Amino acid sequence: MSPAAPHDAVEVIIAKRNHGELTDSQIDWVVDAYTRGEVADEQMSALAMAILLNGMNRREIARWTHAMISSGERMDFSSLSRPTADKHSTGGVGDKITLPLAPLVAACGVAVPQLSGRGLGHTGGTLDKLESIPGWRALLSNEEMFDQLEDVGAVICAAGDGLAPADKKLYALRDVTGTVEAIPLIASSIMSKKIAEGTGALVLDVKVGTGAFMKSLDTARELAETMVALGTDAGVHTVALLTDMSTPLGLTAGNAIEVAESVEVLAGGGPADVVELTVALAREMLTGAGVTDVDPADKLADGSAMDAWKAMIRAQGGDPDAALPVARESHVVAAPATGTLTRLDAMAVGMAAWRLGAGRARKEDPVQAGAGVVWHARPGDDVTQGQPLFTLLTDEPARFERALESLEGGYDVGDGSSYEPTPVLLDRVG
């Protein structure tokens, strides 16, 4: 450490360990010093654990987020001819909403600079899904991104290395030190990237349930309120929807199969829950951007959202009309009894899709474009013994056994007389 440094890592760790408030100066220094390699991984992991255990107040979280943003570049879309709005989901199973949502909002006159990520574990990644489209590329320069937003109105791409590099380093550390669950660190991780991205309005889709990061409504609401406060303090119009992830979204979890389902939505069809959530998020994004005279449901019906999708895919080198990859092997799971499907657990389905090759255990792992799970009924649907309930898809048949283990106990078929559906939309914060 430089002799002129205003703080040292041990002092900052002890302050938070002892339930103290970190000063602005301490926060600015420790985030910058860690990004530059002056604070060691073991020191930052100790501080992250202290934050997990003892928390941060609103000022500390806002300052930590500011320090993360200041570690890199900030984008500015004010020169675009239309307002901007973005969406972030905390991750779920079958959560393909970004795919139809970005072109839908673009078709309504609002530009969507959607910086997305790859899947890890049981939650799918938007970039992995889109990369199943022949020719499509995730990496764009800032100039290409601006041009596409002006011409097409929507872009879904990977974040550049220049955006909040402190978060990239800290995120990897949290993943291996048991500190992922710290709400101040989750909130600052998400919001530092979204604020640095420069969007004018932001809608957060905070998932709640077995297949989500936040298992309870209370913790999900706490995270939502923290992130909405961060966005609001930074001058970004921010709202959050709390949405159900006890049941997976739609009828597919994977990569190419989720793209196909998204195209069905853009064509005016698709599963009701996917359509409902897509339209609800679109309305929030439009309101945040000041556009209140367009109903996104109309843009799904008249084909203009599909036109925007095809233009967006072509602009990134993809062929929207090309055949999507298909898994080499499939295995059907039959309904064990006649009755009503009363429960379908999102985590069970997500783990099965992951074990089939649709997801990865480490960031560097490859994924299979065609792998995943299709379910042929949703909770509340009647099924007949022996009918197909799931179709498992993979290129490697040796994967079926562990995927089937994941599904065991993950669904119930029985008397549906007392079944009560869980709404997709649980609450709104903002």
Q: What is the CATH number of the domain that holds 305?
A: 3.40.1030.10
Q: Which residues pair with 390 in a beta bridge?
A: 333, 375
**What is the predicted pLDDT for the residue at 355?**
96
Helix (H, G, I), strand (E, B) or coil at 30: helix
The pTM score is 0.93
Number of other CB atoms surrounding residue 367 within 10 Å? 22
Of 284, 315, 346, which residue sits at a domain end? 315
The dihedral sign for the CA sequence 305, 307, 309, 311:
negative
Q: Are residues 246 and 338 in the same domain?
A: no
Q: Are strands 339-344 and 201-208 parallel, antiparallel or unpaired?
A: unpaired
Q: Are residues 132 and 93 in the same domain?
A: yes
The answer to whether residue 4 sits within a structural domain is: no
Q: Are residues 125 and 189 in the same domain?
A: yes
**What is the predicted pLDDT for the residue at 118?**
81
Find the domain containing 369 and state its range: 329-414
Q: Are residues 337 and 300 in the same domain?
A: no
Rg (CA), the chain: 22
The answer to whether 282 and 305 have CB atoms below 8 angstroms apart is: no
Of 283, 315, 347, which residue sits at a domain end? 315
Nearest to 224 by CA among 208, 211, 201: 208
Question: Residue 373 maps to which CATH number?
Answer: 3.90.1170.30
The answer to whether residue 321 sits within a structural domain is: no
The answer to whether residue 18 sits within a structural domain is: no
Q: Are residues 291 and 342 in the same domain?
A: no
Q: Are strands 201-208 and 85-89 parallel, antiparallel or unpaired?
A: parallel
d(CA 93, CA 130): 16
Q: Are residues 388 and 340 in the same domain?
A: yes
The answer to whether residue 16 sits within a structural domain is: no
- Fill in the DSSP letter of residue 397: G
Helix (H, G, I), strand (E, B) or coil at 154: strand
**What is the predicted pLDDT for the residue at 117?**
84
Tokens of 202: 């932001």
**What is the predicted pLDDT for the residue at 119?**
76
Nearest to 38 by CA among 65, 7, 79, 77: 7
Q: Are residues 115 and 262 in the same domain?
A: yes
Q: Are residues 184 and 114 in the same domain?
A: yes
d(CA 160, CA 142): 8
- Burial class (CB within 10 angstroms; exposed 0-12, middle 13-18, buried 19+) of 144: middle
d(CA 118, CA 171): 14
**What is the predicted pLDDT for the residue at 122?**
78
Q: Total structural domains in the chain?
A: 2
Q: Are residues 286 and 369 in the same domain?
A: no
Q: Are residues 193 and 114 in the same domain?
A: yes
What angle is formed at CA 144 by the lines to CA 138 and CA 149, rounded to 5 degrees? 95
Tokens of 226: 């923290």
Q: Provide the annotated active-site residues.
A: 88, 167, 174, 189, 193
**What is the predicted pLDDT for the residue at 218?**
96
**What is the predicted pLDDT for the residue at 377?**
98
Nearest to 131 by CA among 259, 306, 250: 259
Of 292, 315, 338, which residue sits at a domain end? 315
**What is the predicted pLDDT for the residue at 4?**
56
Q: Which residues, in sequence order, are CB contacts of 152 under 8 Å at separation 6+?
A: 106, 308, 311, 312, 315
pLDDT along the chain (430 residues), means of 10: 75 98 97 96 97 96 96 93 96 96 98 88 87 97 96 94 89 86 93 93 97 94 96 95 98 98 97 98 98 97 98 98 98 98 97 94 84 98 98 98 98 93 96
The answer to whether residue 58 sits within a structural domain is: no
Q: Which residues, in sequence order, are CB contacts of 66 under 8 Å at separation 6+?
A: none
Residues belonging to the chain: 430
**What is the predicted pLDDT for the residue at 160?**
82
372: left (phi over 0), alpha (psi -120 to 50) or beta: left
